[in-house]
Chains A and B, each alone.
Chain A
Amino acid sequence: MSRIVLAFRSFFSILFRDTLPEEVAKAYGYSKAGAVKAKAVAATPMAPEVKTSDGALQMLGILQRDGRLVDLLMEDISGAQDEQIGAAFRSVQEQCRDSLEKYFRLSPVIDGVEGSYTKIESSDPAVVKLLGNVPASGKAQGGLLRHKGWRAERVDLPKIVPSQKPDVIAPAEIEIE
């Protein structure tokens, strides 16, 4: 079954019958027994029916809501004056930063001075990326710090309420006169 078909069947089945179609449940490992057990453990009526991948959409939604980031990125600004772009960006940047600081604690991976000699303390390429004349061994004592990197020390995103529809990043707005 194609994923789209599965998705639609799941959607309408949940909407009208309050349950997943059996084959979908089986395919994704949501068996009835598991669901009953989960209910018994979690006393809250809001069992999370959302996937963790919805977090990406949630983040987009937050940055749009607080800082209008999606509006800014999706707009064709080829004809706009730099001054106009600057004014808009200043506001978007300020609010997106506030929002980031609220939901994450970001810190540099290496807290050093960029452009200065820095010792290499990790060989994990996901943490420290080596550039330039990297020796054959792939190991070096140290080098110039080009970029401090960013690390999320803490993530504090709100739980997603099922009725919030994560795929809607920003609702349409209609003003009643």
Chain B
Amino acid sequence: MPKYVIGIDLGTTNCALAYAEAPADPREPASVTLESIPQLVNPGEVRDESLLASFLYIAGATDFPAGSLSLPWPSDEHMVVGELARKRGVESARRLVSSAKSWLSHSGVDRTSAILPPTAPEGVEKISPLEAARRYLDHLRQAWDSKHPDAPFADQQVLVTVPASFDAVARELTQRAAEEAGYKSVILLEEPQAAFYAWIERHADWRDRVRIGDLILVVDIGGGTTDFTLIAVTEREGELQLERVAVGEHILLGGDNIDLALARHIESQLAAKGTKLDSLQLHALWQQCRAAKEQLLSEDAQKAEHPVTILGKGTGLVGGTIKAKLRREDIDRILLDGFFPTASSSDMPARRRAGLAELGLPYAADAAITRHLARFLRQQASTAEHGTVRRGASGLAAPTHILFNGGVLRAPIVRDRIIDVLNSWLAAEGLPAVQPLFGEDLMHAVARGAAYYGTARQGRGVRIRGGVPRTYYIGIESAMPAVPGMPAPMKALVVAPFGMEEGTGVRIENQEFGLYVGEPAEFRFLLSATRKNDKAGDLIDDPGEDIEELALMEVTLTGNQGEMAPVSLESLVTETGQLQLWCVARDGRRWKLEFNVREQAV
């Protein structure tokens, strides 16, 4: 019996860890505590910080003085994790692994092969996105064990959060990273849900604040990613119930983009005056702009400008100092026009047009978060039939409440703009304005909420019902005469419908495959974020743009050589939220389909 429930926010730029005591009395409210995380902050200096910087630096022999990378626990000393990695990475960027989580969810690369950092010089040992995630999770486990010697991590109930937009492969990789990091019983939870749990944890009277039929929009803007989720308030057997009814696409756009845009703005001002910055100075400027932005945008800020200073490079500090000012009106303009422009609910984000792109992370082509939000709410109109989604006259999903999460949304100006834009859409549908739900501590809410959910699973508190946030398909080639140069048309068979719940399974009876035993058979695996009314076993003749190819799935049937076994497919969502696909023979034999992350989806 675990003593604690531990919630881990495995973030793109920061990780956090919170815990609650496992419930003894199911009626008592859970009280969640944040745990600080010891990490190297300077060579030879380990300090407790409230967040673990999600950066990994692959140190060479000459990077740090010998013996200055020891941690309070045995560690691989040349793989530095945390604040020191982030700091040193500024000076020596080609050895720095950053945004590993975004790489983990990037289906265009082999996420188990050593590809990070992508710019590492020849001869530097690279690591895979999976391995980077494993190292962050391992650091968090060791940190816990160093602080709680009487309650070993491996004995506790652990929840790790993932973006709601993570597909089944990214979720499985996260789970695998956790298992390889020595996590015994790990459950995955979606971040926006965790943020909502954190709100519930802080508001014991939440049942009085929402009503049946309400729709809660969770907007989560972190350092590197933006995520939208809709949660509906429904009723079952007279009890209020929460149901996660929609999840947006994974958008690689966040606070770092905003800070960089501000830095570029100052850089161009300086360039106009004839001052050129090198890459280190630009990075210093980036950090300064982040600090200046936080100063100018905080709740009680009165100032109209904040100085931005880049100190001289060498020992000539005063003489070489470059100074500039970040003006409040410039921030407002860049932030509001660039990232949160007013838009109508039918505006859609611009699509990437370039035919060739640098091989890297698929960053969002359009920086306008409000247009991404418009698309998300509009998508719910077209095909979504799942659950009870409150809609306007035009079919636009119409939230009654909005909950913010993530560092960017600490700025009132950003929250106000999102609310204003959303309200203008609601007004056009003839609906009343949205009500903001105030969360606290937006940097740690996800970890807190995860710990709370852990106690809710054990019978205390409320659970959000959600299930699979996508519809999943297996691609089937049509049986047609081969035409040279033309791939056979593909049909898509629904194997796991949207919203399929944890702990349930579906057997697709009407479609059998003849599989030869003893050799690997491959399936194409597809998904859709928007087709929510497809039922298990449906065959989609002409999959359009709303169905994306995700990965290959592979199965090797053991059995008599040369035998062909007729199998049908079965999908299963485990209690921990993992989607599994199985081949089931007529005689009841079963084989699991494994994601083949080594092959790239085309």
Contact = CB atoms under 8 A, between A and B. Distances in A.
Given A87-B323, A91-B311, A163 B317 contact: no
B382 interface: no
Contacts of B43: 161, 164
A41 interface: no
A46 interface: yes
Interface of B: 42-47, 65-68, 70, 280, 307, 309, 311-312, 315-319, 321, 323
A90 B318 CA distance: 11
B252 to A, nearest CB: 30
Interface footprint category on A: 20 to 34
A164 B68 CA distance: 8
Contacts, number: 69
A144 interface: no
Given A87-B321, A87-B323, A163 B68 contact: yes
Given A71-B317, A74-B315, A80-B318, A87 B309 contact: yes
Given A87-B307, A90-B307, A75 B318 contact: yes
Nearest to B288: A91
- Interface residue SS majority, chain A: helix
A84 B311 CA distance: 10
A92 B311 CA distance: 9
A168 B386 CA distance: 66
B318 A85 contact: yes
B44 A88 contact: no
Contacts of A147: none
Contacts of B309: 87-88, 90-91
29 contacts: A68-B317, A71-B312, A71-B315, A71-B317, A72-B317, A72-B318, A75-B317, A75-B319, A77-B318, A80-B318, A80-B319, A83-B323, A84-B323, A87-B309, A87-B323, A88-B309, A88-B317, A90-B307, A90-B309, A91-B309, A91-B311, A91-B321, A92-B311, A161-B43, A163-B66, A164-B43, A164-B44, A164-B65, A175-B280
A92 to B, nearest CB: 7
Contact of B67 (A71, A158, A163): A163
Given A87-B323, A91-B309, A65 B42 contact: yes
Contacts of A75: 315-319
Interface string A19-51: 000000000000000000000000000100000
Interface string A83-103: 111011011100000000000
Contacts of A46: 67, 70
Nearest to A46: B67
A68 B318 CA distance: 10
B344 to A, nearest CB: 43
A46 B67 CA distance: 8
Given A158-B45, A159-B44, A161-B44, A88 B318 contact: yes
Interface in A109-158: 158
Top 5 nearest A-B pairs (CB, nearest first) are A158-B45, A161-B44, A87-B323, A71-B317, A163-B65
Contacts of A105: none
A108 interface: no
A161 B69 CA distance: 10
A165 interface: yes
A162 B44 CA distance: 10
A59 interface: no
B317 A161 contact: no
Given A88-B309, A90-B309, A92-B311, A162 B318 contact: no
Contacts of B70: 46
A170 to B, nearest CB: 9
Contact of A84 (B47, B307, B319): B319
Nearest to A72: B317
- Interface residue SS majority, chain B: loop
Contacts of B47: 158
A71 B317 CA distance: 6
B66 A88 contact: no
A165 B45 CA distance: 15
Contacts of B318: 72, 75, 77, 80, 84-85, 88
Nearest to A161: B44
A88 B68 contact: no
A160 interface: yes
Contacts of B45: 158
Contacts of B65: 161, 163-165
A165 B64 CA distance: 12
Contacts of A87: 307, 309, 321, 323
A80 B312 CA distance: 13
Nearest to B315: A71
Contact of A162 (B42, B67, B315, B317): B67
Contacts of A84: 318-319, 321, 323
A161 B45 CA distance: 9
A88 B319 CA distance: 9
Nearest to A83: B323
Nearest to B68: A161
A165 B311 CA distance: 26
A164 B323 CA distance: 33
Contacts of A163: 65-68
A91 B309 CA distance: 7
A86 to B, nearest CB: 9
Contacts of A158: 42, 44-47
A1 B303 CA distance: 63
A164 B309 CA distance: 30
A57 to B, nearest CB: 14
B273 to A, nearest CB: 14
Contact of A88 (B42, B311, B315): B311
A29 B65 CA distance: 28
A92 B312 CA distance: 11
Q: Which of B66, B68, B317 has the most CB of A within 10 A?
A: B317
A31 B65 CA distance: 28
